[in-house]
Amino acid sequence: MSERDDPGTIGRRVQQLRTTRGLTQKQLAEPAYTPAYISTLEAGRVRASEDALRHIAERLGVAYEELATGRPARLATDLRLRLTEAQRTLAGGEAERAAEQYAALLDEAEAHDLTDVQAVALLGLGESAIDTGELVDAREYFERAENVLVDAPLPARVPALRGRAVSHYLAGELRYAVYLLESTLDELNRGGLHDPDALLLLYASIIGPYMDMGAQARAAQAAELALALAPRAGDPALVARMHRSVARTLLAEGRLAEADASLVKAAELYRTLQLRTELANCHWMRGYVYAQNGELKLAEGELRQALEMLSAGRAALYSSQVAVELADVLHRRGKSEEASSLLRETLNDLSSERGALHSAAAHRLLGIIAEDARDTEGAEEHYVRALSLLERAGAAGDLADLCRLLGDLLRRTGRVEAALDAYRTGLGHRTAPGTTTLGPAPAQPPL
């Protein structure tokens, strides 16, 4: 909340309300103050005390907050109630409708200079834009939220920082996304700012970029830390709905402070729902580990659970990587037809601008499946398309592996020179300085 207005603005407001109600300065002042004091206040030459403003507000028949700030008494609480409605909409996967709700809230918050509501609305617009794949718009919303929160403590700025990192990651800018997330984690942990929600959000979000960069050990560690930090809520959606209902009742009774408290609890629970979506990455990580150990049945179970945790509205960008991993496990379990169907369905939701890395992974696996089916021409087509996508994204580790697969295919079909070119390309990416290495790991929380 911003502080009360300057003396000149308050003075003009008092004078307008007094004349509207047909009161003289003497009538407004009695019995505690003098007409001269009211005259000085209305002229903006004195900064009224809180006691004086409360006396004047009572005489004018308005709420203290409305007199001090110009805002209707229930405005902030009403906006907070609508924010929880928008959060519920977004948590339910209706990103476009949530964006409309957040945009309307942002306009009102800016008109009344309510910076805390502005920040939450901008974050909601950013999350909605990520869900609909509008990554440039998402990044702008998160940057605006950071600017609004520039003076807030770091844990309060984490959702905006994390949102910006995710928008870079989904656009294929892996190293910058990891830099943003790791530097924020390091600053939190080294500074003793062990906020569980902030840390959970960051650790859950960094798993995907780590995996794409080939940093499996760091990804596994981040997954375990995220699961250790995860809140133990029963059914947050039901509890949040209860708090919203309670808030409406309290508002009707004029109990604004208690209504505010209920809405804060509801907002936290809706945020927990979004964190549960992020925690799908942790189940994906476990599925990956099981798959690496050859425990394919367990891997399939974890990966299916990860997909179920992702709502339909987020499938285009968030679940695609899990879908590719699940397809790989299905293929290894002899379910190649189901795997191919899942991959093609995933590709329908992606493009080179939205989810390039996931598209490349899907084409790579479709190429492997085609090779196993002795469809050499189809395999080569998928490998070449994956290669083009990875070159644009700069995913060096994946490029090297793909060049090996393509080289092996070309060699088996008698095109030795072309195979050698593919191998050389892969070696070049493997040895390029700075493309596959990360700096020191960020400091860890004292769990």
Query: Amino acid letter at 7?
Result: P
CA distance 68 to 3: 9
CA distance 436 to 214: 7
Q: How much of the chain is in helix, strand and coil states, percent to nearest 5?
A: 75, 0, 25
CA distance 290 to 87: 34
Does residue 104 contact residue 117 with C-beta atoms inside 8 Å?
no
Going residue by residue through the chain (447 aa), what tens digit of pLDDT does each one get?
A: 345 678 888 899 899 889 988 999 999 988 889 999 999 989 988 888 888 988 998 888 887 877 877 776 667 778 888 888 898 788 766 888 999 999 999 998 888 778 888 999 999 999 999 888 788 999 999 999 999 999 999 999 999 999 999 999 888 788 899 999 999 999 998 888 778 878 878 887 887 788 777 777 787 788 777 767 765 434 455 556 556 555 655 655 666 677 667 767 766 766 666 656 556 666 777 787 788 778 899 989 989 988 887 654 454 556 777 888 899 999 999 999 999 999 998 888 766 555 677 788 889 999 999 999 999 999 999 999 988 888 776 666 677 788 888 889 888 989 988 888 888 877 765 544 333 345 666 777 765
Q: What is the residue whose two structure tokens read 């502005």?
A: 118
Q: How many Cβ atoms from other residues are within 10 Å of residue 294's Cβ?
A: 9
For residue 207, give both structure tokens: 């798993």
pTM for this entry: 0.61
Query: What counts of helices (H) and strands (E) characterise the chain?
Result: 23, 0
